[in-house]
Chain A
Amino acid sequence: MMTTRRNFTKGMTLGASGAVLMPLLRQMEAHAAGRSDGFPRRFVFVIKSSGITPGAIRPEGLDIGDDDHLLDLKLTDHQLPPTLRSLDPFKEEMMILEGLSGANFGGNHSSYYGALSCHHSPEKPAAATLDCLLGQLNPAPFRNYGFAPNGHSIGNNYGPIVQDTAVFPKISAYGQNSPMPYQASAEKAYRQLFGSALDLKTGGKKEFALQTNLLDFLSEDTKRLAQQISPEEREKLDHYLNAFESVRARNNELVTMQEKIRKNAPELTSQYSSTVFTDRVSTFFDLTSAALITGLTNVISIRADWLSAKYATFGFKNTSVHDIGHNKVTDNGLKSAEARDVIRQFQIEEIAKLAAKLKAVPEGDGTMLDNTMIIYLSDTGEAHHSHRKEWPFIVVGGRGHTLKTAGRYLRYPKYGSPGHKTIGNWYNTILQANNGPAKDHFGQLDNQLKDLDLRGPLAEIAV
């Protein structure tokens, strides 16, 4: 892709992030093509709403003291807290990461795109998010895939708990003003990911084969129009033609993967059409492991819940995540902290199940889990109404990712103290370890921290 006028028409030359991004993407694609170690670098982002309570994910009985110096402990020396117990088998492959801030990415009840792009962008995406950048670096037929039960972030309390279309939860973006859609329907995701190789009543092999007809038809139609218009306007149609070509390229790849898809496609159980909230989330994790094992994509983003979600399964069908965030007691008498524990435990258990499935697949000298980094975070930092001066992460897997994450509890010094770091540093670390371009920082810097040295990746994690 040349940087021509059409790239400008994407509004990309104004603003620091925009101007830098085009060369960034090209560089990354080039690097991706030349990867040497043979195994894809996979990522699963699990993004929950309403914050992650730092104290609740800390090793049992750990006292963080004055919080003004780095805490670096071996997880195997400690007991995981109750809601994380399902991760016991993975203690040596996981990291609990605390203390990083993202204070300058605010928003109403969520940082929205800011959580993964490190730009203040509560409404429209200002820059590409980390998951989309990693998807570019680790190409696969589907560059990224997103699952979200609903398209709202706050939403209304009256609509359906789970939707059945593509949605825009405002979490991920390919670039400035290019939001990434997520799929809310488990059945549709199933068809989109695996349908090309399966005999299904709808969305299966036969329908997939027709896509070539469609792309040919649209290409021809667009080219015909292009001949009637001026060169400047023709560039607009070039974008459209490029879109067809990229879908065509993906479809060609899927055709070569027919056997593998057939072998690894999950079973379409009744859970896929269930409208129970926790069922939907479970099927998303199901689809995730199958999609990764098949090699359909290398980067998946799962929106684990949203603020109007109501966990009827756990006895609070009239109390939403938002209500819990505002300390409302649930239908079955749980106080806020207890309800949050229940939710977190469910989400962690799903992660543990996913990790187990990946660990069961040998890859090279280890397992698929070694090459897959599952990252659990909230889109709003450390609380429902957060100050984002710390932003907790749990990382499972990815030992083979040239990052020192295995078996650690790492807590950075508190906001503003010497040695304090930000989520921008963390994302920069991940990118640089994955053939992302070497950059001083990722996203926007926090002006309140201008006396700290926030350049570069995290020395404690980078290799």
Chain B
Amino acid sequence: MTRSSTIIATILIAALLATGKADAAGDDYFKQGIVPFLEANCLACHDDETQKGKVSLDTIGGDFSKGDTVALWERVLEQLEIGTMPPEKKRQPSAAEREEVVRWIKEGLTLAGKGFEIESRMLLPEFGNRVSHELLFDGSISTPPFTPARLWRMSPHIYGGKRYQQIVRGGIEAQPLSYKSKSSGLRDYADQEIMDESGFLALQLALSDIIANQIHDRELAPMTYGPDKGKPIHLAGKESFKVISEAEGQPPREALERVIREEFERACGRPISATEFQKYFAFMERNLAEGGNEAGLKTTLLGIYLSSEAVYRLELGRGADDEHGRRLLSPQEIAFALSYALTDSPPSANLIIQKAYEEGKLSNTTEVEKVVRAMMAAGAPPIRKHFPASAFHRMIQEGEHGFAYYPRIVRFFEEFFLYPRAEGTFKDSPGPGMGGRALIGAPQGHIAAIVNEDKQVFEELLTSPRFNNSRTQLLKMVDERHARKRKSQPKEKADAWRADMIKKSNKLTDDTFRAGMLHDLSWLITHSTNDANDPVHRGIWVRTHLLAGNVPALPIGVDAKIPEDHDKTLRQRFEVTKVNECWKCHKHFEPLGMPFESFTDRGWVRTGMYYSKKQKRFETMLTPDKIKSGLEKDELVEFPFDTSGKITGTGEAGIDGPVKDAHDLVHRLAKSTRVRQSIIRHSFRYWMGRNEMLSDSKTLIAAEKAYLDSGGKFSELLVSLLTSDSFLYRK
């Protein structure tokens, strides 16, 4: 080609690529498909004449080659996707109509070069709720579900589950893996987590340390406290390592073979194949020859621990495509998927799964269901959190054996409610120094008990009165435990224990107000600031986690701070958000967070708002006597105690509307269909390791049915999810 014709060709190609401009057919579609939508749903407020919010869609057009048009359609997309437009009180398009316009806008934006950005953000945990709730559950979608074939980097928990490290001593174990995801909460997404350079370096460092610690016996500095204070600590090296690293001359061949087989199985979760073995053995021999026994062993072990299969799980699907182009996971992949769905260990550590795999009984959905049900029935022993805790909290922590104690199930609720974060919070509000760490065990125990009881699990989690510090309830628990202890212990011992518990119970209060996890100290403290309640973040949590909703992003340049006036109640200070420019977003979450004014920021039940003139602050730790005398002496000033709020966005009669207080709020939410479906969506994300797509509709509908038909069993929900096409098929 000549130079000028190259240039012309380049310009033409560029023009074609960049066009974004609707061709004749596209023009028609805009006129027939999009314009009527705008007319019916938008133009009443957003025509040139009215221009509500300074937005006019009168002449927006469908020409995505124009920068202004693109920018305006991006704003429209945002409002449609998160549901803030049309406003609640106005006529709403159907879910299908909305979805169609969203799809069309995305297509246009893709032509304008923004395709990658909008597609990839839908993969982020924080964007999961953007998929149309209505379309997911209304039964209109019949696509056969699947998950894209993928590699899934091991989570920090799976890394720990490989048990590379023999002993964790004091301090912190440097966790070399970190989540790349910005999200806190559900975030182990296969498409977000990768092993990159910084991850590799950190992992290599950690593994080098671990190997070095096991390659010989060693002696550690003595403990500085406790019963063994001052005594030197001897840690034996690993036998299979020492026999090589300490060998004079060539180590015995059996030792080399053994270490390769064992460590490969540890790293990859399965036995090594013959060809792989040859490879690793040759690698080992070379390293020993070139570097000596110790360095040679170390390098070989790193080669095993850092191999890609040790770092990434494979979920590719094997075998032939079915008529929809999907492939079932191979039996081995299924074994791993099930094992890591419930535990942090590979299948070899799980008898039920391992047996099924070895017997060739993991090759279809029926067989998978059998295995999952067996896992549920077998259950797991209680996890004991080693935090300082009262005698009663300890009892709650150490609940009954059951499926609720599978590590991954425990962790789902930890990431969903985020309650463990209460552990690290410091409080500057009046009151004792935080015993944050003691707050985690009890709610974990309560949640596990509810899940093990397996009846109306969501409703129980949201409204159960067991979250009250109730002397009566705890004594009942003591009696139940005592009865069990009598079966295995001498009478005197069991009776003595019971007497001790009754004595300790004298200081307990008898709350009755609390209902469900959202009234637990840990949840309230996690979602609070240093010295106050946090209706914003609490409201956002409720909106996103329980109502499958979205919240507009904080606009750039907005200084979102309420006044510091310490002589006004929090609600009074929040009056500043009522101006339209704030309220148009705040209305989506603040009314959901305000009812928690029923509690102080440390989670204690409030009976009123009392300001101390002397201390110049609101008092939160007053007994009824102190309140009475304080008011009489005019030392305390009583302020309005307003715990009202509002539920919006369910569209369900009897659910949407004003709420009186935090008790009212959770009881109403627990009755909502949308809330149930929202929790199911979050469960889906956790167990699939990704956001839902519209094609997962059948899975979600089946999961909801399983939950409802069984009277609210979480076990049935899990069986449904783990036997679904979304879980088992790849494309």
Residues on A lying within 8 angstroms of B by beta carbon are 5-6, 8-11, 13-15, 108-109, 123-124, 150-152, 155-156, 158-160, 163-168, 174, 176-181, 183, 188, 202, 206-207, 209-211, 213-214, 217-218, 221-222, 225, 228-230, 232-233, 236-237, 239-240, 242-244, 246-247, 275, 447-448, 450
Q: Are A247 and B299 in contact (CB under 8 A)?
A: no
| Binary A-proximity of B172-213 (CB < 8 A = 1, otherwise 0) | 101110111110100000011011111111100110010010
Residue of B nearest to A8 (CB): B120
B594 to chain A, nearest CB (A): 24
Query: Chain A residues with Cβ under 8 A from B117's Cβ?
Result: 13
Asked if residues A160 and B221 are in contact (CB atoms below 8 Å), the reply is: yes
Query: Would you call A233 and B182 a contact (CB within 8 A)?
Result: no
Interface segment among B304-312, B661-669, B681-689: the answer is B304-312
Q: B290: which of A176, A181, A213, A228 is its contact (CB, 8 Å)?
A: A213
Q: Are A177 and B194 in contact (CB under 8 A)?
A: no
A156–B197 alpha-carbon span in the complex (Å):
31
Compute how far the CA of A202 lies from the CA of B208 in the bound complex, rounded to whole angstroms: 11
Residues A159 and B302 in contact in the complex (CB < 8 Å), given A210-B290, A221-B307: no
A317 to chain B, nearest CB (A): 10
CB closest chain-A residue, reference B181: A11
Asked, given contacts A177-B178, A237-B308, whether A109 binds B286 with beta carbons under 8 Å apart, the answer is no
5 shortest A-B CB distances, which residue pairs? Answer: A159-B171, A243-B200, A207-B295, A447-B559, A243-B197
- The reply to whether A275 and B559 form a contact with Cβ atoms under 8 Å apart is no
Q: Mark B269-309, 1 if CB is under 8 A from A, else 0.
A: 00000000000000100110011101110110011001111
**Nearest CB in chain B to that of A202: its residue:** B294
A210 near B295: Cβ-Cβ < 8 Å = yes
- Report the separation of the CA atoms of residues A9 and B153 in the bound assembly, to the nearest whole angstrom: 13
Query: If the complex has contacts A151-B171, A181-B201, are A236 and B194 also in contact, measured as CB distance less than 8 A?
Result: yes
Q: CA separation between A243 and B205, bound complex, in Å?
A: 13
A-B contact count (CB 8 A): 180
Complex Cα spacing A11 to B179, Å? 11
Measured between alpha carbons, how far is A164 from B208 in the docked complex, in Å? 12
Residues of A within 8 A of B158 (CB): none
Closest to A158 in B: B225
* Contact call A210/B182, Cβ cutoff below 8 A: no
Q: Could you say which residues of chain B place their CB within 8 Å of the CB of A156?
A: 171
**B121 interface hit (Cβ, 8 Å):** yes
Indicate which residue in B176, B283, B308 contacts A166 across the interface (CB closer than 8 Å): B176
Q: Which residue of B lies closest to A204 (CB)?
A: B295
Q: Is B149 an interface residue (CB 8 A)?
A: yes
Whether A109 touches B206, Cβ cut-off 8 Å, given contacts A229-B149, A239-B195, is: no
With contacts A166-B209, A246-B197 taken as known, whether A177 is within 8 angstroms of B426 at the C-beta atoms is: no
Q: CA separation between A233 and B308, bound complex, in Å?
A: 13
Nearest residue in B to A446 (C-beta to C-beta)? B559
Residue contact A179 to B170, C-beta cutoff 8 Å: no
B316-A228 in contact (CB<8A): yes
Give 26 pairs: A residue, B residue, CB < 8 Å, sorted on A. A11-B180, A13-B120, A108-B424, A108-B425, A151-B172, A151-B174, A163-B174, A167-B174, A168-B174, A177-B179, A177-B180, A178-B178, A180-B198, A183-B205, A206-B291, A207-B295, A210-B290, A211-B299, A214-B303, A218-B307, A236-B151, A240-B311, A243-B195, A243-B196, A447-B557, A448-B559
Closest to B315 in A: A233
Chain A neighbourhood of B175, CB < 8 A: 168
Q: Knowing that A180-B198, A233-B150 are A-B contacts, what are 12 other residue pairs whose CB atoms are under 8 Å apart, sorted by A's residue number?
A: A9-B194, A10-B194, A151-B172, A155-B171, A188-B209, A202-B212, A206-B290, A214-B303, A221-B303, A237-B312, A246-B197, A247-B200
Chain A residue contacts of B201, Cβ below 8 A: 181, 243, 247
Nearest B residue (CB) for A165: B209
| A289 → B minimal CB distance (Å) | 23
CA distance A120 to B307 in the complex (A): 36
Q: What 1/0 flags go to B364-400 for Cβ under 8 Å of A?
A: 0000000000000000000000000000000000000
CB-CB < 8 A to A448: which residues of B?
Answer: 559
Minimal Cβ-Cβ distance residue in A for B172: A151
A43: min CB distance to chain B, Å = 20
In the complex, what distance in Å separates the CA atom of A124 from the CA atom of B181? Answer: 10
Knowing A11-B192, A14-B121, A179-B178, say if A213 contacts B283 (CB, 8 Å). yes
Please give, as numbers and ranges, the residues of chain B lying within 8 Å of A159 by CB-CB distance.
170-172
State the Cβ distance, B325 to closest chain A Cβ, in Å.
13
CA distance A123 to B172 in the complex (A): 16
Q: Are A166 and B174 in contact (CB under 8 A)?
A: yes
B124 interfacial contact with A, CB 8 Å: yes
Give bound CA distance, A237 to B295, whole Å.
27
User: Which of A123, A163, A180, A209 contacts B171, CB < 8 Å?
Assistant: A163
- Complex CA distance for A17 and B144, rounded to whole angstroms: 39
A123 closest partner in B (C-beta): B184
**Given A13-B120, A14-B182, does the pair A239, B196 have CB atoms closer than 8 Å?**
yes
Contact A221 B206 (CB under 8 A): no
Q: Mark B101-124, 1 if CB is under 8 A from A, else 0.
A: 000000000000000110011001
Q: Is the CB of A230 within 8 A of B197?
A: no
Known: A5-B120, A218-B307, A240-B311. A165 touches B206 (CB 8 A): yes
Contact among A181, A225, A232 for B202, CB-based, below 8 A: A181
Q: Which of B120, B172, B196, B296 has the most CB of A within 10 A?
A: B196
Contacts of B120 in A (CB 8 A): 5, 8-9, 13
A123 to B557, alpha carbons, bound, how many Å? 23
Q: Would A210 and B151 be within 8 Å (CB), given that A5-B120, A10-B194, A237-B308 are in contact? A: no
Bound CA–CA A400/B54 (angstroms) = 54
> Which residues does chain B contribute within 8 Å of A164, judged by CB atoms?
209
Alpha-carbon gap, A358 to B38, bound state (A): 71
**Bound complex: CA of A15 vs CA of B180, how far in Å?**
14
In the assembled complex, the Cα of A334 lies from the Cα of B174 at a distance in Å of: 34
Query: Measured between C-beta atoms, what is the minimum distance from B643 to chain A in Å?
Result: 28
C-alpha gap A5/B123 in the complex (Å): 13
Assess whether A178 is in contact with B299, with CB atoms less than 8 Å apart.
no
B270 to chain A, nearest CB (A): 15
Bound together, the chains give a CA A158 to CA B306 distance in angstroms of: 33
User: B residues 121-160 with Cβ under 8 Å of A?
Assistant: 121, 124, 148-151, 153
Q: How far is the CA of A343 from the CA of B358 in the complex (A)?
A: 63
Once the chains bind, are A10 and B174 in contact (CB under 8 Å)?
no
> B200's closest neighbor in chain A, by CB?
A243
Q: Across the interface, which residues of A come within 8 angstroms of B283, CB to CB?
A: 213, 217
Which of chain B's residues has its CB closest to A174's CB? B198
A188 — which chain B residues lie within 8 A by C-beta? 209
Query: Measured between alpha carbons, how far is A230 from B147 in the docked complex, in Å?
Result: 14
CB distance from A20 to the nearest CB of B (A): 14
Our pick among B176, B181, B209, B291 for the contact of A177 (Cβ within 8 Å) is B181
B606-655, CB < 8 A from A: none
Mark out the residues of chain B between 308 and 336 whose CB falls within 8 Å of any chain A CB in the assembled complex: 308-309, 311-312, 316
Given A166-B206, A202-B294, check contact A233 B151 (CB 8 Å): yes
- Which residues of the partner chain B approach A151 to less than 8 Å between Cβ atoms? 171-172, 174
A206 to B206, CA, bound (A): 20
Does the CB pair A218–B291 fall under 8 Å?
Answer: no
Please, which residues of chain B bring their CB within 8 A of the CB of A8?
Answer: 116, 120
Give A244's nearest chain B residue, CB to CB: B200
- Contact flag A109-B426 (CB < 8 Å), given A211-B299, A229-B151, A240-B308: yes
**Is there an interface contact between B302 and A214, defined as CB atoms closer than 8 Å?**
yes
Contact A160 B316 (CB under 8 A): no
B292 partner residues in chain A, CB cutoff 8 A: 206
Contact A207 B298 (CB under 8 A): yes
Which residues of B sit under 8 angstroms from A163, Cβ to Cβ?
171-172, 174
* Complex Cα gap A211–B120 (Å): 37
A148 to chain B, nearest CB (A): 11
Are A237 and B151 within 8 A (Cβ)?
A: yes
Name, among A108, A181, A188, the residue most crowded by chain B CB atoms within 10 Å (CB to CB): A181
How far is the CB of A240 from the nearest CB of chain B, in Å?
A: 5
- Nearest Cβ distance between residue A197 and chain B, in whole angstroms? 15
- B195 partner, pick from A5, A155, A183, A240, beta carbons under 8 A: A240
Contact A239 B194 (CB under 8 A): yes
